[in-house]
Structure 1
């Protein structure tokens, strides 16, 4: 048994399982990280790109997509602790585009068939995705609001929006909410709005605030909204399965990738790139209840508030594909509410649509991070994720 309580033999089993996903062609490459009680195990498998066969690297810089969301939520809580934002204060003061909301009478209503919102939107609504706006989980084009969201460039997408934040907010402000504030959970958009709010509240850009208040204190030197030109060899090419054949096709080649240039819109919902070691620093800070070494990034009560389930059963209706019967939602991240598989209740974290996942487990004092470059095509977790978490937990040896 090792210091961290992880079995070397069982970590070997994990190695074989994860290598199998690469050998079968499920993913071109991947990096695994399991950290427990200060002991960190990292392994890289496969290649950075199928065209070059360059070996996957531990320091590969991945598009972490929605794993951006917990980081941006933590940034918002820094501003709450400084009393620059308040959880239940209307966001109209800094986001006037969201004042005086109209709400669709029903999901299939025409865009002008609305009623007034019963109350203003709050920061808490953004953090918990209860603002009444987000991804519509229905076949494309089923409802008028879906077409309007897509036409406005507001639909969740693996590709960055080309609108600047002010123009993006103006587009959002022209559309009605899908339900009354606080009534239900809709994925994604709350984090993008949150990113704009943080930028306006701090008087700079979202990236500047994240760098100064999170990335630099945590030593996350490779995390940002693009990969510098002299580091592009560390960016894996991204792949997506063909809908008919299942064969992997290039979605975003590393050379010339849009992630090698600063974005017009710094997306709080999914714009960051990072490494397994950088993301571990963030997860470990959250696992340590806001402390990093001798420095405190967040208070313990803030972390506890962020990592509890804020949703009622009624608010989860329609989002079962995200939550099943074992997950809830905190601030910008999922929270395990019961043990369905091996992951402990109370664990928290999230996945990214470009093929990444990371959770912290307070009960086991453990962090697990998996990074691949295969895009998800559904909110349902892919087999490589399930096998990673099973393999990580079966390696516990105490």
Structure 2
């Protein structure tokens, strides 16, 4: 395990002021190395600890995808069925003639949106992250007006599931179902579908099907007051932002975001990552079938969809909640506030980095973490 090299590289980031601190974990089978480096805020004196909670943002997506597959295997819905059985409000959605068309310039969908479309981000709606965002096109402006929170997980949506679905149903899709890979919205709609299928809030579903079986006692959409107060300060590309306010995390949100709403720790996330690595088995108990793990960790996209998938795919494939490196078989995903994980099934490595500094993802920090963590 590359303990000394990894610690030196990550400590250098902190010493040079690129981030206040981070926690890293690298596991190879039962050999686990955790590094706690720096502090939770610039100018602060609270050290990073192994049990420090982090807003994991889009690292929420794989967890929710796994829960959805568990529910599908339990018969609550089928992956190929139209989502409108559980979300009938969406039955009337039409499709924009072009991504930048006016909202009434639409055509009928070629086919219904399926549960599989939500899991693979091919439902026909998502974040437009290319330069055409400035100025926002009509469908983006309308989504902002409706407070549907298609982008960063904070501020949280003020609406419950039913109102969120009703508002989303008033929007047209941007592309035909199955046509393109578009980020984020699929996990939001999946959140609503899971809640409708079970009759329970998403947080309760994840607790029952994922967190409790895996012993993930420090993961949730809300945290006890003392743990919420330990959330590190969050730094975006332009400095500290509103995500530093821990009071947002004391109560369950009206609409728990399966796209990015969880907080967790490195050890809790290791338990989930090991479930994937061990092909759906935890502690001798099978929680997910081999087929479900294959669906999550195999690429579902065409070469054209990968090429049109923006910098978020970076030329890689996408499974269900996970980015897939087609040449290595390695899979994982990042969170926009500065968290990342990957699983290398061939070397049986799980690597997790958690900070709350967005520049970590796009600078040398992430590159060096991956380089030193992904070693025999």
Superposition TM-score, scaled by structure 1 size: 0.90
Q: 1:356 aligns with which of 322, 327, 339?
A: 339
SS in 1 for 2:133: coil
CA distance in 2, matches of 1:239, 1:213: 32
Judging changes above 3 Å, is the alpha-carbon distance between structure 1 residues 126 and 376 closer, same or farther for their aligned structure 2 residues? farther
Residue in 1 that maps onto 2:91: 99
User: Do the aligned partners of 2:153 and 2:261 also contact (CA within 8 Å) in 1?
Assistant: no
Q: 1:202 aligns with which of 188, 198, 204?
A: 198
CA distance in 2, matches of 1:171, 1:376: 33
Q: 1:374 aligns with which of 332, 348, 357?
A: 357
Q: 2:318 aligns with which of 318, 329, 334?
A: 329
1:383 aligns with 2:371: no
Residue in 1 that maps onto 2:152: 157
User: Do the aligned partners of 1:158 and 1:353 also contact (CA within 8 Å) in 2?
Assistant: no
**79-88 or 172-181, which deviates more:** 79-88
CA distance in 2, matches of 1:148, 1:382: 33
User: Do the aligned partners of 1:103 and 1:179 also contact (CA within 8 Å) in 2?
Assistant: yes
1:39 aligns with 2:31: yes
Q: CA deviation at 1:233?
A: 4.1
1:90 aligns with 2:73: no
User: Do the aligned partners of 2:94 and 2:109 also contact (CA within 8 Å) in 1?
Assistant: yes
Residue in 2 that maps onto 1:245: none
- Note the alpha carbon deviations across 1:241-267, whole angstroms, 9 max, x for none: 32xxxxx3344335x431233212100
After the TM superposition, which residues 2-151 of structure 1 pair with which residues of structure 2 at under 5 Å, given as runs? Answer: 6=1, 10-137=2-129, 138-151=132-145
Q: CA deviation at 1:67?
A: 0.3
CA distance in 2, matches of 1:158, 1:212: 23
CA distance in 2, matches of 1:61, 1:122: 34
CA distance in 1, matches of 2:219, 2:93: 35
Residue in 2 that maps onto 1:249: 240
User: Do the aligned partners of 2:93 and 2:170 also contact (CA within 8 Å) in 1?
Assistant: no
Residue in 2 that maps onto 1:292: 282
SS in 1 for 2:324: strand
CA distance in 2, matches of 1:226, 1:140: 34
Q: CA deviation at 1:66?
A: 0.3
After the TM superposition, which residues 234-313 of structure 1 pair with which residues of structure 2 at under 5 Å, given as runs? Answer: 234-242=230-238, 248-254=239-245, 256-313=246-303
SS in 2 for 1:281: helix
Q: RMSD in angstroms over aligned alpha carbons? A: 1.5
Q: Give aligned pairs, total.
A: 372
- Note the alpha carbon deviations across 1:184-220, whole angstroms, 9 max, x for none: 0100010011111111111211111100111001000
